[in-house]
Structure 1
């Protein structure tokens, strides 16, 4: 076979697409511009480098849509999930990973695959010939972004994405903080103590909010309007929406008891999640920020237990671009105006590591099937994969299209199951049972 599949971008989506296509028997070339051309957020040249968080979110495949997506990717032999499982860290009911070991594993397995080659180069246009998948992620280079705009005939949409700071564990004052997962969730003691918790009383919380609101923030270029994805809002933006917003979001005090003062209910709690297997690094959960570096250190050291915190990485903000997929892509993720080109990952308007990798999985399979001369059946809409791809390729309103995480709101109702809070558990189980059956059938036919 002489036909090759070219994949631009070696992130979550590109890596998964390459793995799936190579496993189907197609030769793959990954075009990754790093480390020759760097980005704002990446620090290495590894494939599938995680830059915002080290969490794949909930691993519950019966009551959570992203956990169901984990299940479907595992069932499809996904490289991203296999690598995540190999390097998972205690995180209660979530799937968090050692980001360095995870990226090294993905890189090594692709580099050693006999059908995969990797070239370090920047692709700046949309080729006329050959089969291509563009999985350039939220940090698509300006030159390629311009080429995409010229081809699609419309401006690529954009929003701003933020990353959270990482703290050295040995600089956290454990005489004030404590180890506990919310509601003691987890099957092992290690999982039940996966988070470091820093409590605040009301006065501390109010002073913290005042400092957030007053802190120096990153300014945007003239004419730029910052539109954020709600799942990754900077903490200052949340604070601006109301003084209690953070206390009902990432700083909610529920499900936690401070062993240093068990009789005192914290007014708010800041959580930190382990970021590596050694337990030497912790990221501040939900604390994406656009504060300038100097402001970050002073504001975050107001948190009880972090007064002497040392930061391995401070937070930051970057531009995130995505295309209007409902208008531009067909049901197999091909660019309607150029069917030899597919898009995958965050650039298609999905949000999150898992969702990006899932769209890479589908794009890789679609492209490989085309090269091999056969077609795949339509992805069942009742699966998590199908619900997500249906949303981005036609289910969403093109006029108001914004990045979307997988969620049960994208699923068709299950007959006979009532809504409401009391029936939610049965309804979610109905979604997942139906999805697993539909996805298993699709894999058997593919």
Structure 2
């Protein structure tokens, strides 16, 4: 009888790991503590709930490392990419989704799979035996976190993630705001107008920065160090680094023309991106915040066009827990002290929805192979997934290890490609061509149907 794979956590990584293993004929139990045990950030009990943003970032698989990761996950029959494509929203060159429809679809698909069970309840400690993947993400429960810390012999490493607010579209003043994607990116008119823009002149910007810096913010408990992942900095932290920082970051005014005043160049621009298919909700792009709720309502309404805004969700900040993976995990994502346990997702030290799901995909495949009695190599280093897992399980410097997005800096150099800005496009294209070939070769040794509805037992694929 085939042994069961237990997965703790039904987020991006846990959901994708479950799908990969089940599609290979391995029985799976997903242990998800929500809704019995809630978290600060989650609103539902659905699997793969998106909390910080509704974007999977760039979908360019030739010039962008995260777009390449999208390609690799699609090639591997990834459930999350399939559902993201099905519930895609216009976002220029990015892949943004209707977050509620997306998570519902993932949940329904996994509940309908004959080899997947979903059990609600908290797993408080590390299991003594069996086959397990821990994919509890940044909001690992205190009890499980303490058990992990006790096993690894180190204190939990933590930084802080922030969440951006979401606005009701019908409360935005469109006589001041307008629809346009930066540099008019996108193949269709809908994509070229996927973002909503709110302009500021210099006086408005300076007043906004003053209010932001003076606002009432969430304080940390004594002894906590306020470290942030650079890709998810609260706007107040960016403003504290210099008054012009936001103008060169999420509020940069380039590539946009205000149709209400085409001859006046805005000093800064706040962008909002559609958050659901109905177009009734928009999230404020790059506006993760640690302002307290009362301060948010007043400060954000200083943005032209948002004076009467009503918020479907205000922003906030939460702790993110992750392992020092270079010292604790092997190349197969197993805890070296307890090799029957794998880790996947953000807790391994990757950052981002796509990266988390990718590590779940790998963990699910590797666990399925082990349960079925097949030895397979980990992902090839020249692929995007391989470059990322190599970084977190040994390529990074353990003493300074911090969460990492996928990027071409993790890739081995390609011979014969010149560096510098002029050669960057050729270099990135060489990276992606090499990665696709390596990934396809790895998949051919361990095939999985691209049909998200297929159930293909591992024993059959291994024999084919």
Does residue 56 in structure 1 map to residue 56 in structure 2? yes
Structure 1's unaligned 5+ residue stretches are none
Q: Which residue of 2 aligns with 1:377?
A: 377
Following the alignment from structure 2 to structure 1, what is the Cα–Cα distance between the partners of residues 151 and 129? 15
RMSD of the alignment, in Å?
0.5
- 1:27 matched to which residue of 2? 27
Task: Within 5 Å, give how 1:191-270 maps onto structure 2.
Answer: 191-270=191-270
Structure 2 Cα separation of the partners of residues 383 and 102 of structure 1? 27
Measured after TM superposition, the shift of residue 238 of structure 1 is 0.2
Contact 2:325 2:349 in 1 (8 A): yes
Q: Is the 8 A contact 2:132 2:340 kept in 1?
A: yes
The 5 A counterparts of 1:13-412 are: 13-412=13-412
Query: Does structure 2 retain, via aligned residues, the 8 Å contact 1:377–1:445?
Result: no
State the 1:376 CA deviation: 1.2
User: Once superposed, which parts of structure 1, at least 4 consecutive aligned residues long, lie more than 6 Å away?
Assistant: none
Deviates more, 1:240-249 or 1:369-378: 369-378
In the alignment, the residues of structure 2 paired with residue 223 and residue 90 of structure 1 have an alpha-carbon distance, to the nearest angstrom, of 43
Query: TM-score, length-normalised on structure 2?
Result: 0.96
Compute the displacement of 1:144 (Å). Answer: 0.2
Residue 225 of structure 1 and its aligned partner are, at CA, apart by: 1.1
Separation in structure 1 between the aligned mates of residue 379 and residue 347 of structure 2, nearest angstrom: 20
Between the aligned partners of 2:246 and 2:394, the Cα distance in structure 1 is 34
SS of equivalent to 2:103: helix
Question: Contact 2:366/2:378 (CA < 8 Å) preserved in 1?
Answer: no
Partner of 2:414 in structure 1? 414
CA distance in 2: counterparts of 1:99 and 1:16, whole angstroms = 16
User: How far is 1:379 from its partner?
Assistant: 1.3
Q: Distance in 1 between matches of 2:384 and 2:2?
A: 34
The separation in 1 between residues aligned to 2:63 and 2:131, in whole angstroms, is: 38
| Alpha-carbon distance between aligned partners in 2 of 1:422 and 1:68, rounded to the nearest angstrom | 21
Asked whether the equivalents of residues 10 and 47 of structure 1 are also in contact (C-alpha less than 8 Å), the reply is: yes
Aligned residues: 446
Distance (Å, rounded) in 1 between the aligned partners of 2:87 and 2:78? 15
Q: Tell me if the contact between 1:124 and 1:144 (Cα under 8 Å) persists in the aligned partners.
A: yes
DSSP 3-state at the match of 1:197: strand
Per-residue deviation, residues 229-261 of structure 1 (Å, max 9, x unmatched): 000000000000000000000000110000011
What is the rounded CA distance, in whole Å, between the counterparts of 1:119 and 1:63 in structure 2?
41
Question: For the residues of structure 2 that align with 1:82 and 1:244, how far apart are their CA atoms?
Answer: 40
Can you list the C-alpha shifts for 1:80-122, whole angstroms capped at 9, x where unaligned?
A: 0000000000000000000000001100000000000010010
What is the distance in 2 between the residues matched to 1:30 and 1:80? Answer: 16
> Gaps (5+ residues) in structure 2?
447-464
Q: Deviations over 1:38-95 (max 9, x none)?
A: 0000000000000000000000000000000000000000000000000000000000
Q: Distance in 2 between matches of 1:407 and 1:195?
A: 25
What is the alpha-carbon distance in structure 2 between the residues aligned to residue 378 and residue 223 of structure 1?
A: 39
Q: Deviations over 1:336-375 (max 9, x none)?
A: 0000000000000000000000000000001010000001
Per-residue deviation, residues 245-300 of structure 1 (Å, max 9, x unmatched):
00000000110000011111111000000000000000000000000001001000
How far did residue 377 of structure 1 move? 2.1
Looking at structure 1, the residues matched to 426 and 140 of structure 2 have their Cα atoms a distance apart, in angstroms, of 41
Q: Residues 137 and 345 of structure 2 are in contact (CA less than 8 Å); yes or no, is this contact kept in structure 1?
A: yes
Say if 2:54 and 2:275, in contact at 8 Å, map to a contact too. yes
| 1-structure distance, mates of 2:391, 2:329 | 11
